[in-house]
Structure 1
Amino acid sequence: MTAPVRRPRRRPGLEFLRWAWGQLTSMRTALLLLFLLALAAIPGSMIPQEGTSAISVIDFKEKYPGWDAVLEPLGMYHVYTSPGFSAIYLLLFISLVGCIIPRVTKYARSVRKPPPALPARIDRLPETRSAAYSGPTDEALDRAEKFLRGRRYRVARAEAGLSAERGYLREAGNLVFHVSLLAVLFGLAWSNLWGYHGTAVVVEGRGFANVLTQYDDFTSGAAVDTDSLEAFSLQVNSFVAEFETGDVQTGAARKFEASLTVTDADGTRDETLTVNEPIMTAGGTQVNLLGHGYAASFTVRDGDGNVAFSGPVVFLPQDGNYTSYGVIKVPDARPSRLAFEAYFFPTAAIDEVGGPYSSFPDALNPQVWLNAWYGEPKEETGAPESVYALDTTGLQPVLADDEEPLRAQMAVGAGFTLPDDLGSITFDGWERWVKLQVSDTPGNAMTLASILIGLIGLSLSLSIRPRRLFIRVAEGMVLTGGLDRADAASGLEDEVAALLAAAADSAPTGHNGDAPEPETHEEPPA
């Protein structure tokens, strides 16, 4: 009695995992994930992000409360750190690894294999040529082999013919491109996890130390220890800004240059920082020049005659001529705390309709126009607040004699006494400030190198044309044929004719020579 056939036990879970892995590692899935990654990055490029500029997010929320009600629940202010974006990124990484490894193994095997065997019917290839030949077979094959190797073909020799193939670097270029894409993703992840960047506004004559409390805004990866940032400091000695004064392009920027003194592990040295020319510290931290503006210096005395505030105040540019807005907060003034909203005009002018404005970005006629606020002393809560905006809660405007809000105009050195013994303010002068970006992105070098190598690989895969050529010498004839293994290739006809001419020791078709005119076979390939 025949024993029953035992069928292998089916494991639906294992079969599903194999199917899912095959789908994930397919090139189609990788392209789909790459498209989804680019699509998911669009909101992050259009909507301000918490990790990049928290102040911009606050301004956006105040300006567009309706959009904020929709975007906040969707997590659109932190797109790049959202679970969805991270999942697409990780799946793309896994898909590329699973797709590349089998292809590399297959390519390694194909490189070691010799060219294919000589086909039995060369005349059925897409392009063939033949000519009569009465010489020795070995001599014809020797000439053909020399011709093929001179054109970088790999050659396999048989008794009556040759097989040759070239274009192996096409697949190598394709693999290099995909491996480089994987390296780009790894480099970006490296920079995001172990990198950081922040900005700081530094007034001329003052310094910056690379500690967290010195930054105006700061973003770091999850693996960064913010207590162990690279130890360095810099001093902004001066900042030079030059603008076009001629009739053409008046006011256009011509020179922005900051003179710094940098102290790091290599010692103390002087550096010059310009736009698009960052400086590097000993530990690889990069310092860029992002912007500049004006800082006006004031001295404020309170109602008791004491100096309640003295120093520079950063003003933010509002237009191309550097009309700038700033806030002077004097919470320690007594008996009433004081605050001022001010505009700084580098080259002040007055329009009868529009009022004061700046007619040129350089400080040729600097003036400050301001109004004043006062109120009861406020208890300090420790809650952070912007130094560039004034919260008028608990304050009321200082009024002029006509019961309208007081407005004062001051040139450098001028002062103004507030009514009702509230105090006084003096415009002492102005300086320039620079906005510095300090960043450490350890994966940038790897990312850049990977992009360049990937472009080289892509160029190879697009320019190299895999091709096979064959030649047989028998029965008083030389027969050559060839086929291309890539679409849109050209030149096959000329190369088949040149191989025939080299083997028969004659001029190729279209040139004078002793070889008879070859026959062209246009039969379809087998």
Structure 2
Amino acid sequence: MTDQSTATAPPEHQPDRPRKPADASALSPLELLRFAWTQLTSMRTALTLLFIAALAAIPGSLIPQRPVSPVQVREFITENPRLGGFYDAVGLFEVYTSPWFSAIYLLLLVSLIGCIVPRIGVYARALRAEPVNTPRNLSRLPAYAKVDGRDDAIERATEHLRAKHYRVRRIEEDGATSLSAERGYLREAGNLVFHLSLVAMLLGVATGVLFGYRGAAIVPVGGGFSNNLTQYDELTSGAEFTDLDLQPFSVLIDDFTARFETGKVNTGQPREFTANVTVIERPGAEPKPDVIEVNHPLEIAGTQVHLLGHGYAPRVTVHDGEGNVAWSGPVVFLPQDGNFTSNGVIKAPDARPDRLAFEGIFVPTTPVDNAMPRSLFPDAYNPELFLNAYHGPPRVATGEPENVYSLNKTGLTQYLQANGEPLRFRLKAGESFALPDGRGTITYEGYQRWVRLQVSYTPGLAATLAACLIGVAGLCMSLFIRPRRLWVRAAADGSVEVTGLDRAEGRTGLAEAVGELGESVLR
């Protein structure tokens, strides 16, 4: 006699056992491709790629990026040549345009699309389908009640459920009438909207990266900027950008106001930076006045002009040894600290018989009791110009570009004092200094301010923002909408069974919903 507890079940009744995965080497190319696509388009892969993309973006916020801060990148490489060389080789100075970040980005985009498209089809079929059949044993469901119902219990229950926005299906089976009701279809819609918005955001960002550009230019107050390639000090752009994408506008810097805190608390902290400008939006257009402030950019045909920084430009005139003007005009000095102690270089390559050059420090507020070139306050209350002088034989022009903020001392000799120390001198506005041996003079005439403008064009920005807002709305729908099923069965003896089931974990209120439905059919 066979023990029933250990008897082997017939094959048709044996439980399903997990299949052993097929050997990848035995798969045909088409099957292998289908397997790779299935893995790539799984939600687990999409979430993993999203997490990897978030991790990959971290270096972009910790390491200076060449498109935004090229000067900081150069300084980092100079100070850390070995580490900087490694960072540059693997693209950590340009994280968001590097090949490896682009690969993660594209894989995430493909994975999301592959996840979403099948789910849209499933959701469309679910919307067309009727509520499911009534379970045979209603008492096994989480919330259950049995009451003595009215003769029109089904009609009353139908009216109650439709008032609560349920889709209702009436079922006749085995001499009993039942209702199957369901609501919460918009929860999955919100989930799909969120994921579609994420795809739209990725596409919007990609559009901005490919077709957008960002550049910066230093413009002295009283000067102007025209939006063409030759006017930029630095420019980064996407792969599909051309100079034809530049809007042909001009901005004239009429005036610039900088105010700083002069009280005992937060002395020297900025209070106001305002540039009054005249804008010509296109050739032949009427000039119109406007204002650019920090965080309030000027917008022209989708292009934004930001006020990014400011500083001082001492006005100097250099006469050479023959008495001719070798250089005259403002020279941009770059601030080195919060009090705007600024460094700069004055070059007079056309001076004769020797070319002349000067390294200088501009101090907006010079201490009266200290000869050190450091500023006490960022505003110009006691401006002075500290200089070192160099001379050398004329150099043949090669046409190679040269950094205007640094001095190439090849072929130059520094002027020295009688004691052998480097010649250093300081000038107030209107003062001049004669170089040794009658080689020329330099006159400090005063200063004017300069502003640093950032011009950026990011197509797809509005669409990206809209997708972000729509995605948040979709996420709220998926979090707060409660998908729920309720059933009502009226027996021939007048009893009515009422039950329900939540389709999402952690929901509350199911017992109350079943109780309200039961009360609506009571005698």
Q: Could you tell me the TM-score, scaled by structure 2's length?
A: 0.90
Greater displacement, 97-106 / 464-473? 464-473
| Alpha-carbon distance change, 29 to 351 in structure 1, aligned in 2, over 3 angstroms | farther
- The aligned runs of 1:155-234 (5 Å cut-off) are 155-159=168-172, 160-234=177-251
Q: Distance in 2 between matches of 1:18 and 1:378?
A: 67
1:463 and 2:476 correspond = no
- The aligned runs of 1:323-342 (5 Å cut-off) are 323-342=341-360
1:296 and 2:314 correspond = yes
Greater displacement, 428-437 / 469-478? 469-478
In structure 2, which of residues 434, 441, 446 is the aligned counterpart of residue 429 of structure 1? 446
Q: Distance in 2 between matches of 1:372 and 1:23?
A: 68
Q: Distance in 2 between matches of 1:332 and 1:45?
A: 44
Contact 1:25 1:95 in 2 (8 A): yes
Deviations 1:442-489 (A, max 9, x none): 111111111111111111111112111111222232221111111111
Q: Distance in 2 between matches of 1:51 and 1:356?
A: 33
Q: Distance in 1 between matches of 2:439 and 2:470?
A: 68
Q: Distance in 1 between matches of 2:368 and 2:417?
A: 21
- 2:20 maps to which residue? none
| Alpha-carbon distance change, 245 to 72 in structure 1, aligned in 2, over 3 angstroms | closer
1:42 and 2:58 correspond = yes
- 1:273 maps to which residue? 292
Q: Could you tell me the TM-score, scaled by structure 1's length?
A: 0.90
Q: Distance in 1 between matches of 2:144 and 2:252?
A: 76
Q: CA deviation at 1:350?
A: 5.1
Q: Distance in 1 between matches of 2:455 and 2:97?
A: 21
SS in structure 1 of the partner of residue 340 of structure 2: coil
Q: CA deviation at 1:149?
A: 2.0
In structure 2, which of residues 141, 144, 156 is the aligned counterpart of residue 143 of structure 1? 156
- 2:12 maps to which residue? none
SS in structure 2 of the partner of residue 158 of structure 1: strand
| Alpha-carbon distance change, 49 to 350 in structure 1, aligned in 2, over 3 angstroms | same
Q: Distance in 2 between matches of 1:184 and 1:337?
A: 56
- The aligned runs of 1:51-62 (5 Å cut-off) are 51-62=67-78
Contact 2:198 2:468 in 1 (8 A): yes
User: Which ranges in structure 2 are unaligned for 5 or more consecutive residues?
Assistant: 1-25
Deviations 1:80-108 (A, max 9, x none): 33332222222211111111110001101
Q: Distance in 1 between matches of 2:252 and 2:479?
A: 51
- 1:4 maps to which residue? none
In structure 1, which of residues 238, 242, 246 is the aligned counterpart of residue 259 of structure 2? 242
In structure 1, which of residues 117, 120, 135 is the aligned counterpart of residue 136 of structure 2? 120
In structure 1, which of residues 375, 391, 395 is the aligned counterpart of residue 408 of structure 2? 391
In structure 1, which of residues 21, 33, 46 is the aligned counterpart of residue 49 of structure 2? 33
- 1:508 maps to which residue? none
- 1:372 maps to which residue? 389
Q: CA deviation at 1:50?
A: 3.7
In structure 2, which of residues 339, 346, 363 is the aligned counterpart of residue 321 of structure 1? 339
Contact 1:321 1:361 in 2 (8 A): yes
Q: CA deviation at 1:110?
A: 0.3
- 1:67 maps to which residue? 83
User: Which ranges in structure 1 are unaligned for 5 or more consecutive residues?
Assistant: 1-9, 506-526
- 1:521 maps to which residue? none
Q: CA deviation at 1:264?
A: 1.5
Deviations 1:475-521 (A, max 9, x none): 2322211111111111111111111112226xxxxxxxxxxxxxxxx
Q: Distance in 1 between matches of 2:383 and 2:343?
A: 13
Aligned sequence identity (%): 54
Q: Distance in 2 between matches of 1:303 and 1:318?
A: 33
| Alpha-carbon distance change, 267 to 109 in structure 1, aligned in 2, over 3 angstroms | farther
Greater displacement, 156-165 / 105-114? 156-165
- 1:487 maps to which residue? 505
- 1:523 maps to which residue? none
- 2:17 maps to which residue? none
Q: Residue type of the partner of 1:144?
A: A
| Alpha-carbon distance change, 17 to 255 in structure 1, aligned in 2, over 3 angstroms | same
Contact 2:361 2:373 in 1 (8 A): no
Q: Residue type of the partner of 2:293?
A: T
SS in structure 2 of the partner of residue 451 of structure 1: helix
Contact 1:375 1:396 in 2 (8 A): yes
Q: Residue type of the partner of 1:476?
A: G
Contact 1:53 1:217 in 2 (8 A): no
